[in-house]
């Protein structure tokens, strides 16, 4: 019996060291993770994860273009390879394109080698479309393992988290909830995470429905929308 107890204790310790502890540290404490910008400027960064989506992302880009708003897109490598023309449109219209993993696999399910290769493949997919390496990395679900930060650093990536989320991927979430969640939490330096792909069926449509009102309301409150590059300063 003590053998099984020892094995279980070892497994728990490994899980804590590889998953739980680094995840808590990166999400809440690490200075290497950008969670918000400076609070002395009325700037807000809209970020969109999981795309590009052939239906929703072009409509989202239309909304942003009409409003004169720049955003940051954290793309999935598989999707980037399928729709390189959408990445090129993002870039040509002044948006920032970042890395969000290759197949949206959870960090806790990836070995150290898989963690590195997952990020590297996504960077290669982005570079094949845009001709340059991305600057930013955000892991799926904002979840980290022990090797996530080291892999990002080795590939020259800065890590982004967020300060506002609106649960826009959930089936029960309404456009009104998305609007209320963003507006009620908005403050100078906020980084908002929304989604233009995945989630419950039709979920991105609710995000698109809420977005024009979010932009209009925050503009009236005096906010300016910026990319993460602008929020943190251009790389020199």
Task: Give the Cα separation of 148 and 218 in Å (integer).
Answer: 34
Q: Rounded to a whole number, what is the distance in angstroms from the first to the last CA of the chain?
A: 59
195 has catalytic annotation: yes
CA distances to 81, 117, 137, 198 from 156, rounded to whole Å, are 21, 14, 10, 27
Q: Residue for token digits 């020892």?
A: 6
H or E element at residue 7 = helix 2-15
User: Could you say which of 118, 195, 196, 229 is catalytic?
Assistant: 195
234 has catalytic annotation: no
User: Could you say which of 49, 168, 196, 229 is catalytic?
Assistant: 49
Note every long-range contact of 216-222, with CB atoms under 8 Å and residues 24 or more positions apart, other chains counting.
Answer: 216/67, 217/179, 217/183, 218/44, 218/182, 218/183, 218/186, 219/67, 221/186, 222/42
In this structure, the number of other CB atoms found within 10 A of the CB of residue 67 comes to: 15
> Which ranges constitute the DSSP H helices of 96-222?
112-130, 148-154, 175-185, 203-220
Closest CA to 66 of 218, 183, 215, 223: 215
Task: Give the Cα separation of 57 and 48 in Å (integer).
Answer: 9
Q: Which residues are catalytic?
A: 49, 195
């Amino acid at each position: 019996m003590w053998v099984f107890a020892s094995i279980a204790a070892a497994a728990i310790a490994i899980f804590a060291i590889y998953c739980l502890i680094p995840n808590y540290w990166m999400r809440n404490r690490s200075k290497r993770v950008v969670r918000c910008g400076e609070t002395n400027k009325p700037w807000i960064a809209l970020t969109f994860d999981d795309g590009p989506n052939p239906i929703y992302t072009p409509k989202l880009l239309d909304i942003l273009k009409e409003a004169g708003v720049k955003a940051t897109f954290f793309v999935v490598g598989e999707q980037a390879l399928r729709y390189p023309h959408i990445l090129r449109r993002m870039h040509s219209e002044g948006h920032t394109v970042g890395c969000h993993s290759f197949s949206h696999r959870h960090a806790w399910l990836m070995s150290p080698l898989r963690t590195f290769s997952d990020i590297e493949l996504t960077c290669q997919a982005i570079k094949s479309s845009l001709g340059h390496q991305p600057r930013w990395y955000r892991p799926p679900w904002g979840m980290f393992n022990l090797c996530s930060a080291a892999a990002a650093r080795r590939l020259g990536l800065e890590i982004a988290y967020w300060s506002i989320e609106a649960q826009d991927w959930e089936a029960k979430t309404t456009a009104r909830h998305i609007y209320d969640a963003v507006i009620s939490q908005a403050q100078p330096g906020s980084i908002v995470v929304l989604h233009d792909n995945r989630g419950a069926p039709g979920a991105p449509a609710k995000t698109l429905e809420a977005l024009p009102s979010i932009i209009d309301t925050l503009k009236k409150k005096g906010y300016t929308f910026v990319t993460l590059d602008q929020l943190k300063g251009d790389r020199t």
